Amino acid sequence: LMCCSPLAVQANEQLIELSKDSKNWIMPTGDYANTRYSELDQINKDNVKNLQVKWSFSTGVLRGHEGGPLVHDGVMYFNTPFPNIVYALDLNNDGKILWKYEPQQDANVIPIMCCDTVNRGVAYAPPEGDRPALILQYQADTTLVALDAKTGKVVWEVLNGEHKDGSLSESGTSAPMVFKDKVLVGISGAEFGVRGHVTAYNLSDGSVAWRAYSTGPDAETLMDPENTTHLGKPVGPDSGIATWEGDQWKTGGGTTWGWYAYDPELNLIYYGTGNPSTWNPVQRPGDNRWSMTLFARDADTGTAKWVYQMTPHDEWDYDGVNENILVDDMKINGEPRDVVVHFDRNGFAYTLDRATGELLVAEKYDPKVNWATHVEMDPNSDQYGRPQVVAEYSTHQNGEDTNTTGICPAALGTKDQQPAAYSPKTKLFYVPTNHVCMDYEPYRVSYTAGQPYVGASVSMYPTPDSHGGMGNFIAWDAAKGEIVWSIPEQFSVWSGALATAGDVIFYGTLEGYIKAVDTEGKELYKFKTPSGIIGNVNTFEHDGKQYLAVLSGVGGWAGIGLAGGLLQAEGAEAWQQAVAGDRAPTDQQQAIGTAGLGAVGGYAALADYTALGGQLTVFGLPD
C-alpha cells in the first residue's frame, strides 16, 4: 500500500507542520485549506501605514505574473510566466539569486494559452529519504519538473499533456499541490476542446499514481456509480457521458486549471472543473457533466466521493475552477459544519458540507448578477441545486448568431482565478471580485484538433447602473450568504487576497497598487508597484521580522490587451483571424473590442495606468 507508507505520511506531516508555522509561506495557497490567512501580526492595522519597500527584483519576463513566492528557511522561490523561469532568492542578501532554472520550451505553446502565458506558482515538497526537498513547477508546455530545492538541478520531469501539431492543445498554468507522497496537476485548454483531467504523480520518481478525467466513462472519471454522489444521490453509471450528445464529451472541456485544496483528515482533494467546449451552448445540448463541477476525490485513489455541478449546461463560460476554502465548525443555522466555500465565476458563492457535498448556502456575492434569479435550495425540487436561468440572458434560448446583451457577470465571472482569503478571527471571507457585464453571441464552430474551439463573440464593459468601476473588494459572510462590506474598484481585482492576525487584509489592483484595509474595509495603506498586480499577496517572517511579498506584472485574462499586444489593431486582427476565422470583425474598433474573448475592449483603459513587466516587491516595517 504505497499510499499509506510511513514515509509518505511523514513527508505529508512535515508539510502540514511547515504550513502551520506562519513564518513560512510553504504552499501556493498558504495552506491546504486555501485560507490565505497568516497568524503573523507584527504588521498590524495600526502600523501598516508605515510599510516600506525593503527590496525588489525584476524577473526579466514581461506579461502576466500570477501566483506568489514561497518562503522557507531563508529562501524565496517563485516562477515567471512563459518561459517559466524559476528563481531561488536569498533572503539574507536582498534577494541575491541562489539559483535560476530556465526550461527550454517550444514557444508554439503561447498561441494555445487562452488567457495570457501565466503560471500560478511553484510547490515545495519536503525531503524524504534519499530524495532532496523539491521545487515543483508545472510549465506552459505541461512539463511537470521537480527541481532540487537546494541547487535547482532537475531531479525528474514528466510531460503531463499533449500539444503536438494537429493533436490536442493542452497547456499548463496552474500551481501544483503536493500532498502525501504525490503532487497534483491539472490541465488547461477548454478553448481548444481539451478534455479536462487532474493527475497525481509520485514525488519519488514522477510516475503516474492516478489520473481522473472530468468527462467520459467511469473508469476514466474515477467515479463510482453507486457511491459517488451528486447532491446526496448516486451519480449512476457513466455519468460523465450520459448528459452529452454522442462523442462530444471527448472534446468537452471541463479543464482543471484552478486551485486545489486538501483535507488531510477526510483525505479528500477538492477542485473545480471549467467550461464545457464549445462556448456555443446550442451545439452541445445536455448538462455537460462534469464540466462546471466541484469535485471531492480520495487522495490515494482519485475516486470521486462527491460532485456538485454549479452551472449545468453553461451558456456563459462560467468556469467552476475557482479555489475551495475549507473552514471547520462554521455555524450555519446555529449548527457547526465543516464546510467548503467556493466563490464561483457564475456569481454565486457556495457553502457546502465538505464531507458529503450537501449544499448549505448559495447566494449572489455581487447583487448585479442577473443571469439566474437564485439557486434552488429545496431538496425535493427537481431543480434542486440548479441556478434558475433568466430567459432574457440565456444565450442558448436566444440562439446562435443572436447577441444576448447585458449579461452579468461577464464571462470572466464575478471572480476568476484570483483567490479569496478567510480570517478565522473575523470569520469572514475577503474576496477580490469582477464587476463586469457582457454581450455574448454564440455561433457554430467545428472541432479541429489543435485549433481554437470557441464559438462565441463577446464584449465586456463595467456593470451598468453601478459605480462605474469594473471591480469590488468585498467581505463575505459564508454562513449567511451576505456581503458585509464592499469597496468599489476601477478595475477588477485580479490579485489574490491575504488576511492576517494583524487585522489587516491585503490585495493588489490592476493599476499596480497594493492596498491594505482593516476588517471594516477602511483603506489603511496603498503603494503603486511597478506594474499591474495579478499575483497574490503573501507574507512571511525572516530574522524575526514580518514581510509581505507580491509579484507585479499586468496580464492574465483581464490584462490580455496589454500582455498579448491586442490593443493594437495588428495584434487584435491576428487574434480574430485565429479564433473567429470567417467571423472575424471587419471593423478595426470592433476587432479590438472583442479580441481576447472580450477582455481587450473591456479593460482598454488599463493602458493609462500601467505597462508590462514582472517584478517582486518585498515590504516591511521601518527598522
Ligand X SMILES: O=C(O)c1cc(C(=O)O)c2c(n1)C(=O)C(=O)c1cc(C(=O)O)[nH]c1-2
| Positions marked active-site | 317
Which one of a second copy, ligand X, none interacts with residue 274, CB within 5 to 8 A by kind?
Answer: ligand X
Please, what is the Cα angle at 38 between 94 and 484, to 5 degrees?
A: 125
Nearer to ligand X, 103 or 556 (CB): 556
Length of the chain: 623
Nearer to ligand X, 453 or 547 (CB): 453
Which of helix, strand or coil describes residue 396?
A: helix
Q: Binding to ligand X by residue 460, rule CB under 6 A?
A: no
Q: CB–CB of 80/121 below 8 Å? A: no
Backbone angles phi, psi at 508, to 5 degrees: -115, 160
Q: CB–CB of 147/153 below 8 Å? A: yes
Nearer to ligand X, 152 or 419 (CB): 419
Q: Measured from the CB of residue 419, what is the shortest distance to a second copy in angstroms?
A: 23
Which residues in 223-242 are b (16+ Cβ under 10 Å) and which e? bbeeebbbbeeebeebbbbe
Q: CB–CB of 378/232 below 8 Å? A: no
Q: Binding to ligand X by residue 412, rule CB under 6 A?
A: yes
Q: CB–CB of 274/259 below 8 Å? A: no
Question: How many C-beta neighbours within 10 Å does residue 321 have?
Answer: 31
- Span from 93-101, 255-263, 342-350, 411-419 in contact with a second copy (CB under 8 A): 93-101
Nearer to a second copy, 21 or 570 (CB): 570
The CA–CA distances, whole Å, from 517 to 49, 251, 435, 485 equal: 10, 44, 20, 12
Unique residue bearing C-alpha cell 434569479: 373
What sign for the dihedral angle of Cα 532, 535, 537, 543? negative
Alpha-carbon span 513 to 528, nearest angstrom: 4
Binding ligand X by CB under 6 A: which of 114, 136, 549, 595? 114
Nearest one of 602, 594, 601, 591 to 569, comparing CA atoms: 591
Binding ligand X by CB under 6 A: which of 128, 141, 191, 314? 191
Strands 504-508 and 513-518, bridge-based pairing: antiparallel
- Span from 4-12, 237-245, 395-403, 409-417 in contact with ligand X (CB under 6 A): 409-417
Binding a second copy by CB under 8 A: which of 100, 153, 444, 522? 100
Q: Measured from the CB of residue 294, what is the shortest distance to ligand X in angstroms?
A: 16
Footprint (CB under 6 A) of ligand X, residues 168-187:
173
Widest distance between CA atoms in the chain: 66
Nearer to ligand X, 191 or 511 (CB): 191
Which one of ligand X, a second copy, none interacts with residue 387, CB within 5 to 8 A by kind?
Answer: none
Footprint (CB under 6 A) of ligand X, residues 54-83:
66
Alpha-carbon span 557 to 562, nearest angstrom: 10
Q: Binding to a second copy by residue 531, rule CB under 8 A?
A: yes
Task: Take residue 15 and report the three cell numbers written for it.
Answer: 508539510
Binding a second copy by CB under 8 A: which of 18, 26, 62, 307? 62
- Span from 72-80, 108-116, 366-374, 583-591 in contact with ligand X (CB under 6 A): 108-116
Q: Measured from the CB of residue 487, what is the shortest distance to a second copy in angstroms?
A: 18
- Span from 133-141, 167-175, 190-198, 527-535 in contact with a second copy (CB under 8 A): 527-535
Binding ligand X by CB under 6 A: which of 188, 228, 248, 546? 188
Q: Binding to ligand X by residue 118, rule CB under 6 A?
A: yes
Q: CB–CB of 539/553 below 8 Å? A: no
Which of helix, strand or coil describes residue 464?
A: coil
Which one of ligand X, a second copy, none interacts with residue 115, CB within 5 to 8 A by kind?
Answer: ligand X
Footprint (CB under 6 A) of ligand X, residues 277-316:
none
Q: Measured from the CB of residue 463, what is the shortest distance to a second copy in angstroms?
A: 23
Backbone angles phi, psi at 92, to 5 degrees: -85, 0
Binding a second copy by CB under 8 A: which of 242, 390, 578, 611? 611
Q: Binding to a second copy by residue 610, rule CB under 8 A?
A: yes
Binding ligand X by CB under 6 A: which of 101, 279, 557, 603? 557
Q: How far does the chain reach from its first CA to its final CA, in angstroms?
A: 52
Q: Binding to ligand X by residue 190, rule CB under 6 A?
A: yes
Alpha-carbon span 120 to 332, nearest angstrom: 33
Which one of a second copy, ligand X, none interacts with residue 612, CB within 5 to 8 A by kind?
Answer: a second copy
Burial of 333 (0-12, 13-18, 19+ CB in 10 A): exposed
Question: How many C-beta neighbours within 10 Å does residue 550 have?
Answer: 27
- Span from 89-97, 410-418, 440-448, 465-473 in contact with a second copy (CB under 8 A): 89-97
- Span from 26-34, 98-106, 127-135, 411-419 in contact with ligand X (CB under 6 A): 411-419
Footprint (CB under 6 A) of ligand X, residues 310-369:
319
Task: Take residue 297 and report the three cell numbers written for it.
Answer: 476525490
Q: Where does 47-105 show beta strands of DSSP type E?
A: 52-58, 70-72, 75-79, 86-90, 96-101
Strands 498-500 and 37-38, bridge-based pairing: parallel
Which one of ligand X, a second copy, none interacts with residue 608, CB within 5 to 8 A by kind?
Answer: a second copy
Which amino acid, residue 458?
V
Distance of CA 505 to the CA centre of its chain: 20
Nearer to a second copy, 242 or 611 (CB): 611
Which one of ligand X, a second copy, none interacts with residue 453, CB within 5 to 8 A by kind?
Answer: none
Binding ligand X by CB under 6 A: which of 30, 103, 189, 614? 189
Q: CB–CB of 251/453 below 8 Å? A: yes
Nearer to ligand X, 126 or 571 (CB): 571
Nearer to a second copy, 96 or 522 (CB): 96
Footprint (CB under 6 A) of ligand X, residues 244-263:
255, 257
Unique residue bearing C-alpha cell 523539491: 134
Q: Binding to ligand X by residue 274, rule CB under 6 A?
A: yes
Which one of a second copy, ligand X, none interacts with residue 552, CB within 5 to 8 A by kind?
Answer: a second copy
Alpha-carbon span 551 to 195, nearest angstrom: 31
Residue ranges in contact with a second copy by CB under 8 A:
50, 52-53, 55-60, 62, 87, 94-97, 100, 512-513, 527-531, 552-553, 562, 607-617, 622
- Where on the chain is the footprint of ligand X (CB under 6 A)? 66, 114-116, 118, 173, 188-191, 255, 257, 274-275, 319, 412, 416-417, 556-557
